[in-house]
Amino acid sequence: PQPDDVAEGYVAWQLTNDDELLGRQHVTFTWEQELGELPVGEGVAIDVPAMRAMGVDWQWGQLIARKAETIEVGTSGEMTGVRPIDPRNDLEFGLSAEGVARAFELQGEWKLSLEATRYELEEIKRTSVERGMVRMIMTRSDQIVVQAIYRLRSARQRIAVRLPGVDPAETSDSLDAQPLRINQRSVALERDAELFYIPYTGHSAEESVLVELKYTIPRTAALQVPEFPEDPAVQVVDLVVYVPDEWAILGQSSNWSRPSEAWPGGGGYDSDGTLLSEVRAGVDSVGRDLGNDFPVDGVRHQFTALKPDAGEAGELVLRTVNRRWLDVGVVVIVALVGLLLIFQPLGLRVVVMGSLVVLALASVVVEPWLASSLLRWPLFGTLGFVAVAWAVRGGVWGVGQGVAAMNHWGTSRRLAAEQAASSAESEAKTDDEVEKSEASSSTSNAPDAPPPDRPATSSEEPIQFSEADEAQASDQPDDGEAGADESGKEG
């Protein structure tokens, strides 16, 4: 029967034992309380029965609450005589802290109400790839040697992985002697009909490990990194491709990016050692020589992707050509165009060759790979050869023009001299004719000269002739006529 002094809402219990209850005793009370269905996201109040020890001066104790994985426990309403404590450090009476969600300290008369809230578990990614580095070596024997190193954490016992280009049913020519190493320790790579599996037993989900894969595939223009079909959380992956020296890259098609400060085929990239150190960061159980036993050869190109796509969507396509054939083609085209323009006007030549140079420079923006393959010594050397050919052609043309000008100048001077001489001669003849004409004109216009006067005697008196003398004089010939007759006879 219940005692008379039992407070309202309480039930009196009496504990008995075969022996006397002296000293510290451990008593366990177990009961169940139906809460019904807990709605998702809504809190349900749980009243905790308060226990009072009767006939004691001071009551003190501890209360802990454990919960299921999908339930969150909190307090509801007013608390009296209750103080929260840390279950990891403050538990006494041999209580275990495993799985404890809340813990309280009870003093005197206490009152506590808990609240339980149920949540649904969402599927999360059980594998996280924190950093990755993949190196692919394109060999001259039409093969690609691949090394993939990942720093990852996983809650799975086996991690599925697909190696593009490797058939799980036939791996004799593809897998390395040690295809899988975890923290530099060789581990057997498991497989089924479609996938490979990385054994992950013995590693905690909170512990990061380094996984290294090595395999060989036939050469292809589309490069794919290893794929994790279970869709883990992948962060940054660096892809380093080594291309033979005699190959030139003309372009790429992919979502992979190059470092912004890097020129294709040139500087600005992180070295393999730098990338390996970034992958090793946070894993102290491996040495600094991780990945250094992988031989490389060729021209190095670096690409980066944040969470690269799986399958064909994440492949890197490189368009390559033999560098020698490319150089020969550049030399032939530029030289042929330059020589065909050698007899054209200078303005047309400058426009055509300038357009070719502008197109080559514009390719830096459109396709840097093409620009890096074209803007090399064959192009500049051929442009120099064309410039020299044009200069020689211009010099020959200039010399020819000079000789022609000199010949023209000499001919002009000779013709001018001949013309001047002819003009002078004509002028001289004209002057002579004018003088003769003037002389003839003056002679025809002159008056007849008077007959000469007979010489006068000193006495200046006329001579008187008789008629007999005049007759005798007329009978005798004149002296002048006689002389003329005599001279005519002599002739």
pLDDT band for position 456 (50/70/90)? Answer: very low
Q: Which of 292, 235, 246, 301 has its CA nearest to residue 268?
A: 301
Token pair belonging to 22? 């002296």
What pLDDT score does 36 carry? 76
Of the candidate ranges 145-154, 237-246, 419-428, the one whose mean pLDDT is the lowest: 419-428
Residue 224, pLDDT > 70, answer yes
**Which contacts (CB < 8 Å, 24+ apart) does range 357-360 have?**
357/383
Is it true that domain 127-321 has CATH number 1.10.3720.10? no
Per-residue pLDDT, averaged over 418-424, amounts to: 82
Q: Give the model confidence (pLDDT) of 47-93 as tens digits.
A: 888 888 777 777 888 888 888 878 888 888 888 888 999 988 888 87
Residue 299, pLDDT > 60, answer yes
52/439: higher pLDDT: 52
What pLDDT score does 478 carry? 46
Per-residue pLDDT, averaged over 226-249, amounts to: 90
Q: Is 248 helix (H, G, I), strand (E, B) or coil?
A: strand
Per-residue pLDDT, averaged over 437-455, amounts to: 58
Domain regions of the chain by residue span: 1-122, 127-321, 322-394
What pLDDT score does 437 carry? 74
What pLDDT score does 484 carry? 39
pTM (predicted TM-score): 0.60
Of the candidate ranges 50-54, 227-231, 454-458, the one whose mean pLDDT is the lowest: 454-458
Cα dihedral sign for 369, 370, 371, 376?
A: positive
Q: What is the DSSP letter of 484?
A: H
φ and ψ at residue 164, rounded to 5 degrees: -60, 130
Distance from C-alpha of 133 to C-alpha of 240, rounded to nearest angstrom: 8
Q: What is the DSSP letter of 142?
A: S
Token pair belonging to 340? 């065909």
What pLDDT score does 443 carry? 60
Alpha-carbon distance values, 166 to 175, 193, 195, 315 (Å): 8, 12, 10, 15
Q: Give the model confidence (pLDDT) of 158-202 as tens digits.
A: 999 999 989 888 888 888 888 999 988 899 999 888 899 999 888
Q: Give the model confidence (pLDDT) of 328-351 as tens digits.
A: 988 898 888 888 888 888 888 888
Q: Is 113 helix (H, G, I), strand (E, B) or coil?
A: strand
Residue 490, pLDDT > 50, answer no
366/42: higher pLDDT: 42
Distance from C-alpha of 203 to C-alpha of 156, rounded to nearest angstrom: 10
Please provide the average confidence, as pLDDT, over all residues in the chain. Answer: 80
DSSP letters, 12-53, are ------SS---S-------------PPPBT-EEEEEPPP---
What pLDDT score does 212 carry? 93
What pLDDT score does 453 carry? 53
What pLDDT score does 457 carry? 44
